[in-house]
Amino acid sequence: MNYRIEGGNLPVVICELESGEKMITEKGAMSWMSANMKMETNTGGGIGKGIARMFSGESLFMNTYTAEGGPGQIAFASSFPGEIKAVEITPGKTIIAQKQAFLASSAGVDLSVHFQKKLGSGFFGGEGFIMQKISGSGIVFLEIDGSVIERDLAPGEQLIVDTGYLAMMDETCTMDVQTVKGVTNMLFGGEGLFNTVITGPGHVMLQTMPAMGIAQALIPFLPTSNSK
């Protein structure tokens, strides 16, 4: 498979497939495709795996697209302004991503649910108790909100991240939370009570414009049911 990412901050990934090659995606992600692409809808490994994916923010069913009778083209567009990042997954490289980060992948990639080992990481860290685990072998395309900032953490090196800004980390990283120090900082600092702490080793992707943050910022400007 060859691919290219176009579209600036409203990106689309265009994949060129050889005959017989397959792509997997969540429902509704396909933007356009050549006429010889065949679509099949299934649970992607059984009803149990489908239900588990629903907990991680994806749909029960997955779509598999196959190029039949010759080369084919298929494109997948991001659902939010930002970037699409291609990550190579190998048996030795598994990643943990935020909910709904998965856009599409080659057929050898497996999407499952990941539970944070420490409850505090999920309830207070802002990234959610349930995230996506992406393993197997192949290329996965991730949706990132805003721009991507990438960091490589050394063993034991820590990075403090505000709520919602963690997009992806290697499985070798761990995630925990810590309270903001100082009562005045907690009450009047405007950064909330908790921060997410990522500890290496591993690769980390941060996003500059979390969708939830944008939604919360717009709430005061939206008309209410009582508005005339």
Burial of 155 (0-12, 13-18, 19+ CB in 10 A): exposed
The pairing of strands 130-136 and 109-115 is: antiparallel
Q: Identify whether the C-beta of residue 65 lies closer than 8 Å to the C-beta of residue 25.
A: yes
Query: Beta strands of the chain (E only): which ranges?
Result: 2-6, 12-17, 22-26, 30-33, 37-42, 62-67, 72-77, 82-89, 95-97, 102-106, 109-115, 130-136, 138-145, 148-153, 158-161, 166-170, 174-179, 194-199, 202-207
Does residue 213 fall inside a structural domain? yes
Does residue 43 fall inside a structural domain? yes
pLDDT at position 162, please? Answer: 83
Start-to-end Cα distance in the chain = 54
CA distance 63 to 91: 23
| CATH code of 190's domain | 3.60.160.10
Q: Identify whether the C-beta of residue 127 lies closer than 8 Å to the C-beta of residue 114.
A: no
Q: Identify whether the C-beta of residue 86 lies closer than 8 Å to the C-beta of residue 141.
A: yes
Does residue 33 fall inside a structural domain? yes
Does residue 196 fall inside a structural domain? yes
Q: Identify whether the C-beta of residue 45 lies closer than 8 Å to the C-beta of residue 87.
A: no
Tokens of 45: 């490994």
pLDDT at position 178, please? Answer: 77
Q: What is the pTM of this model?
A: 0.82
pLDDT at position 164, please? Answer: 83
Amino acid at 67: A
The total of structural domains in the chain comes to: 1
CA distance 28 to 8: 21
- The angle at the Cα of 109, spanning 82 to 169, to the nearest 5 degrees, equals 50
Range of the domain at 204: 2-218
Does residue 225 fall inside a structural domain? no
Q: Identify whether the C-beta of residue 73 lies closer than 8 Å to the C-beta of residue 15.
A: yes
CA distance 97 to 112: 11
Does residue 47 fall inside a structural domain? yes
Amino acid at 98: Q
pLDDT at position 69, please? Answer: 96
Does residue 22 fall inside a structural domain? yes
pLDDT at position 124, please? Answer: 45
The residue with tokens 């909100």 is 145
Does residue 228 fall inside a structural domain? no
- pLDDT values of the chain reduced to their tens digit, one per residue, 228 residues: 999 999 988 999 999 999 999 999 987 789 999 999 999 997 665 555 555 555 545 566 789 999 999 999 999 999 889 999 999 999 999 999 988 899 999 999 998 887 765 544 444 444 455 788 999 999 999 999 999 999 999 999 999 998 789 999 999 999 887 776 654 544 444 455 677 899 999 999 999 988 777 777 778 887 875 554
